[in-house]
Structure 1
Amino acid sequence: MNQYVIRPVRGDEWAKVKELRIVALKDPAASVAFLESVAEAEGRSDAFWQARAEGASHGRAARQFVAEGPGGEWAGSVTVLVEESGTTDIFDQHIERAQGHLVGVFVRPEQRGTGLTEGLFQAALEWCWSLEEPALERVRLFVHGENARAAAFYRRFGFEATGNVVPVPADPSAKELEYAFPRP
């Protein structure tokens, strides 16, 4: 991992945001890792990707972190969505406390097991804990019930299953399991 820099995206990097997302959606594990298809992502306009990169580059609502190699290539990414108390989440559940929600976790297959995922998570959590008024009480994520590899990583990193289970929007017979990391 030493040759990679973990950093937030910049608003003008929308083309790289789009490219990495499409690579992630083509990964063999994508069906149990993401709630979006390749066709949906490829069908989105440049304006969508520009707004996504801009929105994840500054402010409190979202932040996307990338692992950038020495040649400028991106090897992985994670995005934090801030869920404010009194709002609803992507599963239409009421949010009772300010919290971070990790989404879009992806590291290219050739870089898995090198520490990049840990570095991305560390950067995301540090950013979450730096937010003030209201401070985030925890960071959570959801993992597909059949994504044992990802769930094992989340547990090793320190996330704990909360017992909250929601149906996958596109397949209600499948389940997403919530894991959370409390504020230190």
Structure 2
Amino acid sequence: MTRHVIRPVRRDEWDKAKELRLIALRDPAAAVAFLESVEEAEAQPDEFWQGRTERACEGRGARQFVAEAADGQWDGSVTLLVEAAGVPDYFGKPVEQEQGHLVGVFVRAEQRGTGLTETLFEAALEWAWSLEGPGVERVRLFVHEENARAEAFYRRFGFRESGVTVPMPGDPGGAKEREYVFARPGRG
């Protein structure tokens, strides 16, 4: 197994963040895993990627974690967004409690099944639980109803289906996404 360093992305690494995102959007599962197409992402100017990376490396609003191999290649990534209590979430519903929202989960096909995804999730959750006042009480994610592989992983990791479903944004066919949650240890 390739050794990886799991670490937060740095501001000056926007080009590598862009490269990995485009690889993720070309993955066969991208249509049920991500809310943007590769064409949409490729059309974004460098300033978009610079801003996105900057927001994911500082402050408490978001943190992107990458799995970097010894040769410098990024083999995976996950981003944790912090949703503040009382503020509307992506779907326009007020957030009831301070929570994390995992997005952008991707590991290169040749690294799947090696434990790399688990290691990325552990880093993201550790960061979420370390945030001070107000503390993050749970971390959630949404998974497309037809993404059985991802659902199986999330359950194995310890996420539980909440029963909340939302329409898949931009899907005229009425597909749904299911919410999965992971409660802060010691909180239920």
Kindly state the Cα deviation for residue 89 of structure 1 after the two structures are TM-superposed.
1.4
User: Is 1:58 aligned to residue 58 of structure 2?
Assistant: yes
Q: Which residue of 2 aligns with 1:90?
A: 90
Query: What TM-score do you get using the length of structure 1 for normalisation?
Result: 0.98
Report how many aligned residue pairs link the two structures: 184
Kindly state the Cα deviation for residue 58 of structure 1 after the two structures are TM-superposed.
1.2
Q: Which whole-Å CA distance do the structure 1 matches of 2:152 and 2:92 have between them?
A: 26
Kindly state the Cα deviation for residue 2 of structure 1 after the two structures are TM-superposed.
5.7
Q: Which whole-Å CA distance do the structure 2 matches of 1:48 and 1:136 have between them?
A: 28
Q: Which whole-Å CA distance do the structure 2 matches of 1:19 and 1:92 have between them?
A: 30
Q: Which residue of 2 aligns with 1:70?
A: 70
- SS in structure 1 at match of 2:175: strand
Q: For the aligned residues, what is the CA RMSD?
A: 0.9
Q: Which residue of 1 aligns with 2:110?
A: 110
Q: Deviations over 1:76-110 (max 9, x none)?
A: 00000000001111122221110000000000000
Q: Which whole-Å CA distance do the structure 1 matches of 2:143 and 2:137 have between them?
A: 20
Q: Which residue of 1 aligns with 2:176?
A: 175
* Unmatched segments (≥5 aa) in structure 1: none
Q: Which residue of 2 aligns with 1:19?
A: 19
Q: Which whole-Å CA distance do the structure 2 matches of 1:86 and 1:132 have between them?
A: 17
Query: What TM-score do you get using the length of structure 2 for normalisation?
Result: 0.96
Kindly state the Cα deviation for residue 59 of structure 1 after the two structures are TM-superposed.
0.7
* Unmatched segments (≥5 aa) in structure 2: none
- SS in structure 2 at match of 1:12: helix
Q: Which whole-Å CA distance do the structure 1 matches of 2:146 and 2:91 have between them?
A: 18
Q: Which residue of 2 aligns with 1:144?
A: 144
Q: Which residue of 1 aligns with 2:5?
A: 5
Q: Which whole-Å CA distance do the structure 2 matches of 1:74 and 1:101 have between them?
A: 22
Q: Deviations over 1:51-80 (max 9, x none)?
A: 111111111000000000001000000000
Q: Deviations over 1:12-36 (max 9, x none)?
A: 0000000000000000000000001
Q: Once the two structures are aligned, what percentage of the paired residues are identical?
A: 68
Q: Which residue of 2 aligns with 1:122?
A: 122
Q: Which whole-Å CA distance do the structure 2 matches of 1:28 and 1:93 have between them?
A: 31
